[in-house]
Amino acid sequence: QVQLTESGGGLVQAGGSLRLSCAASGRTLSSLGMGWFRQAPGKEREFVAAISRSGGTTYYAGSVKGRFTISRDNAKNTMYLQMSSLKPEDTAVYYCAGQENYIPSIASAYAYWGQGTQVTVSS
């Protein structure tokens, strides 16, 4: 059974940066396509970014492209989301997710989910 654990969330001022981590256990991370999603209060969960098993292919939502960078270190069984130029509208609970394939932006394609980490961006 795959367990995913996010960390690195917190409170940051607009324009600042944060790096989220997603540690995997119970399964070798290199066997999974991985992604980040987020959910703001009163809104549906939305796709943020995804990365293929090898890390060679990435995909971003338009709202974060150029500001966020997804990466993975399969040797450490960990995925990352580097967030820069943060905006108040980036405030949300951020979830990491894993799947057997690589269907980047479709939440239902992901079988494994973490518990989420809160990111709050103040103006």
- What's the pLDDT tens digit per position in 82-91? 999 999 999 9
Question: Can you say how many angstroms the Cα of residue 42 is from the centroid of all Cα atoms in its chain?
Answer: 20
Burial of 61 (0-12, 13-18, 19+ CB in 10 A): middle
Residue 67 binned pLDDT confidence (cut-offs 50, 70, 90): very high
DSSP character at residue 74: G
- The pair of structure tokens assigned to 63 is 């709202």
pLDDT at 84: 98
Query: Is the pLDDT reported for residue 1 higher than 90?
Result: no
Interatomic CA distance for residues 117 and 33, integer angstroms: 20
